[in-house]
Amino acid sequence: MAAILRDLLRYNAEFRIGAALISVVLLLSVLASFSPYPPQDVYVVPPDVPPSLTYWFGTTSRGQDVFWQLTFAIRNTLLFGCTVALISRLLALVVGLVSGYKGGWIDRVLMSVNDTFIVIPLLPILVLFYFVMRDRMSWLLLALIMACLGWAYDARLIRAVAMSLKAREFTQSSLFSGMSTREILVQEHLPYVMPIVFSTTMNNMVWSIGLEVTLAVLGFTDINTPTIGGMIYWANQHTAMVAGVWWWIAFPTIAVIMTFIGLFLLAVSMNDYIDPRSRLRSFGEVS
C-alpha cells in the first residue's frame, strides 16, 4: 500500500494535484471541530463584512463567518458523499459479483434492472421525493435514497471483472473443493474487484455531491444543515450577487470545484494504475 502511494506520488502528476486539492479540502473539514461558533447560529458576527484579517473569507448577510461556515459545509458535504458511496458500493458489489458469477437468467434479469437504473433521469425522481417528504427530508434519508438509485453503473463494471474471474482456473478449484457460492464470491473474487471499487468510489462521490449541491441550491434538501449547496442557497436567498456580497458565493463555489477536480483526478490516476497498459506507459517497470 505504501509502495503504491509512493509510486503514484512520484510518477503521476494527476495523483499529485488531486491529492493536494483533496488534502486542502480535508484540512478545512477537520477545522470544523475548532469552530468558535455553532454551525446553525446566526448573527454571531457583524453581517456583510468583506474578507479581512479578522474574517478571512468575510461574513454573510446572516451574520455568519464564511470561513467557519465553509468548514462545516465541506465536512457535511464530504460525509454525505462518503455515506452514499459506501452504501451504493455494497449494492453494486452484491449485484455485480452475483450477476457475473451466476450468469444465465439471473444475470439477464439483474442486468435489465441495472440498465434501467443507469438511464432513468434521477433528478425529477429526487425532486418528487423531496416534494412528498418536505420538512421530514434529512440528509441521511437523502443519502439512503441516492445510494439506492446510484449503484447501477458500477455494478456493471464489477460484473465485467467477475465474468472474467469466473473463467479463471482458481474459481473451478474453489468450486470443486466444496466452497459455497457466497464463500467463492467473498473470499476469492472480492479481493480482485477491490481496485475497481476504490476508483468508482471517487466517481460516485463526484456524482452524489453534484446532485446534492444541485438539490440544495434549489432548496430541495434539509437547508438548515450547512452544506456547500446549502450555503449557495442562502446566498441566493439574500441575493448576494446583486448586493455585492460576492465572497458568500465565491468561496463555497471554489471549495466545491476543488473537491470535484481533486476527486476526479484521484479516480483518473487510480484507473491509470489499475489498467496494466497505462500503468506500463506512465510508471515504467518500477511497479
Partner 1 sequence: MASLGRPVVSVRTLRSGVLGAPMIGYLAYVGRRLAQFVLVVFIGINLAYVITHASPIDPVEQSISAVTSYGNTAPEAIEQMRTSLRELYGLGGSPVAQYLVFWKRILGVDFGPSMSAFPTPVSTLIGRALPWTAGLLVVSTIVAWGLGSLLGGLAGYYRNSRGLKLMGVIAMGLHPIPYYILALVLLIVFGFIWPVLPISGGSAMNLPQTLTFDFVISVLQHAILPALSLILIGVGSWFLGMRALVSNVVTEDYVVYAELAGVRPWRVLSSYVMRNALPPQLTGLAISLGGIFNGAVITEKVFGYPGVGSLLVDAVYAGDYGLVLGVTTVSILGVSIGVLVIDLLYPLLDPRIKVS
Task: Name the residues that contact partner 1, by CB under 8 A.
Answer: 112-113, 115-125, 127-134, 136, 153, 206, 209-211, 213-214, 217-218, 220, 232, 241, 249, 253, 256-257, 260-261, 263-265, 268, 277
Pick the closest to residue 228 from 202, 254, 265 (CA basis). Answer: 254
Q: Which is nearer to partner 1, 155 or 185 (CB)?
A: 155
At 124, is the secondary structure helix, strand, or coil?
helix
Least distance (Å) from partner 1 to the CB of residue 137?
10
Q: Which is nearer to partner 1, 192 or 260 (CB)?
A: 260
Q: Which is nearer to partner 1, 161 or 265 (CB)?
A: 265
| CB count in 10 Å sphere of residue 29 | 21
Q: How far is residue 259's CA from residue 194's CA, in Å, rounded to a whole number? A: 23
168: left (phi over 0), alpha (psi -120 to 50) or beta: beta
Query: Could you tell me which residues come within 8 angstroms of residue 215 by beta carbon, excluding any fewer than 6 positions away?
Result: 123, 126, 127, 130, 142, 221, 229
Q: Which is nearer to partner 1, 184 or 268 (CB)?
A: 268
Least distance (Å) from partner 1 to the CB of residue 135?
9
Q: Which is nearer to partner 1, 159 or 189 (CB)?
A: 159
| Contact by Cβ (8 Å): 244, 259 | no
Residue 78 half-sphere exposure, CB side, CA atoms within 13 Å?
23
Q: How far is residue 115's CA from residue 73's CA, in Å, rounded to a whole number? A: 34
Least distance (Å) from partner 1 to the CB of residue 98?
19
| Contact by Cβ (8 Å): 219, 213 | no
| CB count in 10 Å sphere of residue 154 | 26
49 phi and psi, to 5 degrees?
Answer: -85, 130
Least distance (Å) from partner 1 to the CB of residue 133?
6
Least distance (Å) from partner 1 to the CB of residue 261?
6
Q: Which is nearer to partner 1, 45 or 84 (CB)?
A: 84
Q: How far is residue 215's CA from residue 233's CA, in Å, rounded to a whole number? A: 10
Question: What letter would DSSP give residue 275?
Answer: S
Q: Which is nearer to partner 1, 152 or 184 (CB)?
A: 152
Least distance (Å) from partner 1 to the CB of residue 143?
16
Least distance (Å) from partner 1 to the CB of residue 278?
9
